[in-house]
Copies of this chain bind each other. A is one copy, B any other.
Amino acid sequence: MKIYLLDLGSLVIDRSDVLWHIDVGTAVRFPVYGVYVDHPEGKFIFDTGYDLDHVNKVLPFELPEQTPEQTIPAQLAKIGVRPEEINYVINSHFHFDHVGGNRFLTNATLLTSKLELRSSLVPEPFERLGYSDLSFYTRGMKVEYLEGDVELAKGLSLFQTAGHTIGHLSMLAEPEGRRPMIFAGDAAYTYETLDRMIIGGFHLDPIDSISALKRIKAVAKQHDAEIFPSHEMEPWLKWKHAPEFYGA
């Protein structure tokens, strides 16, 4: 299993959106990335970034920066993979900055919980902007519904971390010759989120959001895994980016 981090651009939000109620009025630029897992049992992508046109149109205040290279097709091209070769796409959740590249994965089966899909299509009022890019879904497309924690393939699994959204999922990958990796998704934007146990300012359920942080830490401890938060610039810049990869 090889694990590639795909650079999909960056956005700006307030620090109080990263850490609820902290440093209100301080803008923070953060990375948006996807994870491509090349596994003997299939080709998986976890999160696909945002669609630049969509953000420019609907959320221009998040000041998107995305070069043509920072898209799913261009990132996969670096590895020699065509988007139509991807077998499965999983989104930690269906917010616009995690689903924007799904539409390129024309042969992929979408793996999701019914809850998350339903809520993205019929959101709460305060979730409308989050769930504003529905290009990832068309009725009749290939979907498999997940329940609970799920093993996707040997050494690759999803676990439930609801709170940020109703069906949020994090991913655990256990590549050979390397410490296991947890891709937290927006259950943990940053390491500070985990250290201080302060949830983000976007959330469906604050109590569940805290439980999700605890769960990520518990799974990390159980597997001696390294946690990769979703939206923090400094560590992101130090990680390997595609075409480099983790695992073997």
The complex places the Cα of A25 from the Cα of B203 at a distance, in Å, of 19
A155 to chain B, nearest CB (A): 33
The complex places the Cα of A25 from the Cα of B201 at a distance, in Å, of 14
Which residue of the partner chain B has the closest CB to A129? B21
Give the residues in chain B near A202, CB-CB below 8 Å: 21
Cβ-defined partner of A201 (8 Å) among B125, B199, B201, B207: B201
Tell me if A20 counts as interface (CB < 8 A to partner B). Answer: yes
A206-B207 CB under 8 A given contacts A20-B126, A24-B25, A126-B20: no
Residues of chain A in range 29-84 having any CB-CB distance to chain B below 8 Å: none
Tell me if A205 counts as interface (CB < 8 A to partner B). Answer: yes
Give the residues in chain B near A226, CB-CB below 8 Å: none
A118 to chain B, nearest CB (A): 14
A198 to chain B, nearest CB (A): 8
Residues of chain A in range 197-244 having any CB-CB distance to chain B below 8 Å: 197-199, 201-207, 210
Cβ-defined partner of A16 (8 Å) among B16, B26, B126, B207: B16
Cβ-defined partner of A24 (8 Å) among B14, B205, B206: B14
A221 to chain B, nearest CB (A): 20
A19 to chain B, nearest CB (A): 11
A62 to chain B, nearest CB (A): 12
B210 touches A207 (CB 8 A): no
A206-B14 CB under 8 A given contacts A21-B201, A24-B24: no
B126 touches A206 (CB 8 A): yes
The complex places the Cα of A125 from the Cα of B203 at a distance, in Å, of 15
The complex places the Cα of A125 from the Cα of B125 at a distance, in Å, of 25
Which residue of the partner chain B has the closest CB to A206? B126
B125 touches A197 (CB 8 A): yes
Tell me if A124 counts as interface (CB < 8 A to partner B). Answer: yes
A134 to chain B, nearest CB (A): 21
22 A-B residue pairs with CB within 8 Å: A14-B16, A14-B24, A14-B25, A16-B16, A17-B21, A20-B126, A21-B126, A21-B201, A21-B202, A24-B25, A25-B25, A124-B207, A124-B210, A125-B197, A125-B198, A125-B210, A126-B199, A126-B210, A201-B201, A203-B206, A204-B206, A204-B207
Residue positions of A touching B, CB distance < 8 A: 14, 16-17, 20-21, 24-26, 124-126, 197-199, 201-207, 210
